[in-house]
Amino acid sequence: MGLLSYKKNAGEVIKRITPLLEGEAPDRIFASFVLPSGAMKDFQKQYTESFFSEYPDPFERAAFWDRHLQGRAPLEDDSIPYAYPSEFDQGLYGGMLGGDVRFLAMAEDGWVSSGWISSMVPPLLKNLSEFDTLSFDESNVWFQRYKKQLGIMTEAAMGKFGIAHLILIDGLNFVFELIGATDTYLSIEDSPELVRKAIDLGFDINLKVHDTFFDIVGGVNGGTCSWVVPWLPGRVICESVDPFHMTSIDYFEKWGRGPIERIFKKYDGGVLHIHANGRHLTDAVSTIEGLKALLFVDEKDHPPMFSILDDLKKRSRGIPISVYADYKDFTERLNNNTLPGGTFYYVSGAESADEVNRCMEKVREYRA
């Protein structure tokens, strides 16, 4: 029996993508294909894109991932099947401090995030002068739900698929949870010491969340499943630089780099993503100590990252990068031998597993 029953070539995939992560595959390409599934069609019928407050049943969520990932078993691409406990991807952190957690279903096909139920909270405080009213207790209902759901998903996944790491909500992201984005930026000017105090609390909360994740979930073949690249060796965390997408690079250097590098050192490094409006951060972010890979995320009203990929490759300083790609555009450049190497492609638009597997023969043979 193979490493994972829902991915017959999982061991081969890990061997194949390891050189990418070690910077030893600058001329090779890697691809995961996003296909429609029966599980996703039923998910779209069940959920709308409006917010809701009822915590999704964790057994139903585990069953969704089981069905969805079993349907991907025939694919011979570079994916590793994983479930993502997205119900805790943002709202957990505020919920652990008493916040009002709300949920949003990601029902659109064709994305790494398709099938997620994301979470978030309204700001907990009127301003940071109320900071000392915050406290965390391990009996908190959201922390208990988090641990229980990780256990349920881990049991459901056993021998079949992995569990992907959660995104961190630390640094200024954590302060956003407390007082909102606008007041965070204002507080940096008016009360920088309180902001630093909040960042320190966020560091402690995130250590609790992610140490708990690795204690319960473990990993796959000594590594961590991720939606930035499918698998990384060791205990790797997933960071965010979203608060700096509309700030200067100097602002990132002052308020962003330090907290990220601090928490990366507690694990075996980390990965992160950049949205389209944060591309100006690419050069700076690529020098973060401990960064293992970088995903560029498309957004409306911006050119697709795939269309400016050559520039992104130059600016990412040899860090392995991932981008989204339309199947037609991807195969055209594949056939023309113009795809940059050292890159992981998330491709949507193929019609069948057979089509994907034929395409993957060319992907594995490709040299830039």
Instruction: Indicate which CATH number applies to the domain containing 154.
Output: 3.20.20.210
Residue 76 inside a domain? The answer is no
The answer to whether residues 138 and 171 belong to one domain is yes
d(CA 286, CA 282): 6
The answer to whether residues 114 and 213 belong to one domain is yes
Which two structure tokens, joined as six digits, stand for 334? 């594949």
d(CA 309, CA 342): 11
Q: So what's the pLDDT on residue 165?
A: 97
The answer to whether residues 118 and 237 belong to one domain is no
Q: So what's the pLDDT on residue 108?
A: 77
Strand, coil or helix: what is 339? coil
Q: So what's the pLDDT on residue 1?
A: 36
Residue 248 inside a domain? The answer is yes
Q: Write the burial class of residue 191 (CB in 10 Å: 0-12 exposed, 13-18 middle, 19+ buried).
A: middle
The answer to whether residues 12 and 112 belong to one domain is no
The answer to whether residues 67 and 100 belong to one domain is yes
The answer to whether residues 228 and 246 belong to one domain is yes
Cα dist from 257 to 112, 272, 294, 352, whole Å: 26, 12, 15, 42
Residue 103, Ramachandran bin (φ over 0: left; ψ between -120 and 50: alpha; else beta): beta
Domain finish residue from 173, 194, 219: 219
Residue 172 inside a domain? The answer is yes
Domains: count for the chain: 2
Nearest to 74 by CA among 355, 325, 324: 355
Q: 109 near 40, Cβ under 8 Å?
A: yes
The answer to whether residues 272 and 354 belong to one domain is yes
Residue 317 inside a domain? The answer is yes
The answer to whether residues 234 and 160 belong to one domain is no
The answer to whether residues 204 and 229 belong to one domain is no
d(CA 333, CA 315): 21
Domain finish residue from 219, 251, 284: 219
Residue 64 inside a domain? The answer is yes
Residue 163 inside a domain? The answer is yes
pLDDT by residue for the chain (368 residues), tens digit each? 358 999 999 999 999 999 999 999 999 999 999 998 899 899 888 887 678 889 999 999 999 999 999 999 999 999 999 999 999 989 999 999 999 999 999 877 767 778 899 999 999 999 999 999 999 999 999 999 999 999 999 999 999 999 999 999 999 999 999 999 999 999 999 999 999 999 999 999 999 999 999 999 999 999 999 999 999 999 999 999 999 999 999 999 999 999 999 999 999 999 999 999 999 999 999 999 999 999 999 988 899 999 999 999 999 999 999 999 999 999 999 999 999 999 999 999 999 999 999 999 999 999 99
Q: What is the pTM of this model?
A: 0.94
Nearest to 9 by CA among 359, 357, 363: 357
Q: What are phi and psi of 224, to 5 degrees?
A: -115, 130
Q: Taking the CB of residue 137, how many other CB atoms lie within 10 A of it?
A: 9
The answer to whether residues 234 and 303 belong to one domain is yes
The answer to whether residues 356 and 210 belong to one domain is no
The answer to whether residues 199 and 339 belong to one domain is no
The parent domain of residue 210 ranges over 39-71+81-219
Q: So what's the pLDDT on residue 267?
A: 99
Q: So what's the pLDDT on residue 24?
A: 96
Residue 327 inside a domain? The answer is yes
Residue 364: its H or E element: helix 353-365
Q: What are phi and psi of 120, to 5 degrees?
A: -165, 170
Residue 147: its H or E element: helix 141-157
Residue 256 inside a domain? The answer is yes
Cα dist from 324 to 33, 115, 181, 282, 327, whole Å: 10, 17, 28, 17, 10
Domain finish residue from 219, 246, 274: 219
